[in-house]
Amino acid sequence: MSCLFCKIVERSIPADIVYENDHALAFRDIRPVAPTHALVIPKVHLACIHDATPEQTPLLGELFAAARAVAEKLGLGEKGYRLVVNNGDDGGQTVHHLHVHVLGGRGLSWPPG
Ligand code: 5GP
Ligand code: ZN
């Protein structure tokens, strides 16, 4: 059985898709924590950044390039934005398909909680 985000890739559950290329898909987060909040995922299932193999390093590059493209498309390029990857329980990861949060549209505080 495929995971939640694999189902979004397969279009078996709906999402507000904002960007797609051969490697990555991006859609708006269902519970946004900033005025603009999108998730960028690899189209292939990879549970988390810590599970990435050396062979998947090019895919990780594709994911960050896609996150940059999403930020540009959503109008965040000029004022700035934040990319976040949560990993594992202490990292706050709740969906176990690697995703990059693209957050922007307001000033973001540091450090995170
Ligand atoms: P994490 O906590 O794993 O880094 O982030 C998972 C994110 O996925 C959360 O921000 C959550 O709101 C989002 N999310 C969970 N389920 C869905 C869903 O069905 N659709 C969309 N678009 N986002 C989801
Ligand atoms: Zn998956």
Place of tokens 């985000």: 5
Q: Which CATH number is 27's domain given?
A: 3.30.428.10
Residue 40: what pLDDT?
99
Average pLDDT over residues 68-91: 98
The residues whose Cβ lies within 5 A of ligand 2, an ion, are 3, 5-6, 45, 97
Q: Is residue 109 part of a domain?
A: no
Q: Would the CB of 49 count as within 6 Å of ligand 1? A: no
Angstrom distance (rounded) from CA 24 to CA 11: 14
pLDDT for the residue numbered 2: 87
- The 10s digit of each residue's pLDDT in 3-32 is 999 999 999 999 999 999 999 999 999 999
Residue 76 placed within a domain: yes
Whole-structure pTM value: 0.98
